[in-house]
Amino acid sequence: MSEFSNVTVVKKANVYFGGNVSSRTVRFADGSSKTLGFMLPGEYTFNTADPELMEILDGDLDVWLPGAQHWQTVKGGESFNVPGNAQFTVKIKAPTDYICSFLK
């Protein structure tokens, strides 16, 4: 599915790293939420609260996941999971469009 239907969207963007990373929050009827985000080239470290599923719609990045021994390359159409209460770093190599799902 290329769309999310019957959802609520917060108007204001979530803005990180001077706007190099921005996202929109989407809320679902079941109480869950996701962000649709966009990252420009650069290196960014994020802290999670809930565990997250990061689906890369388009782009090219390396991610350093918690406990990892090396960078992992992720491209459009691929995804990765991040544990809750953790930190991960991405090196964005091409503008990257993603969906972040907050898992419980």
Q: How far is the CB of 66 from a second copy (least distance, A)?
A: 26
Q: Which residues from 82-101 bind a second copy, rule CB under 8 A?
A: 95, 97, 99
The DSSP code sequence of 15-45 is EEGGGTEEEEEEE-TTS-EEEEEEE-SEEEE
By CB under 8 A, tell whether 11 contacts a second copy.
Answer: yes
Report yes or no: 54 and 100 within 8 Å, Cβ to Cβ: yes
Q: 2 vs 69, which CB is nearer to a second copy?
A: 2
Q: What angle do CA 92, 12, 54 make, to 5 degrees?
A: 35
What residues make contact with a second copy under the rule CB under 8 A? 1-13, 15, 18-20, 22, 24, 26-27, 36, 38, 40, 57-58, 95, 97, 99
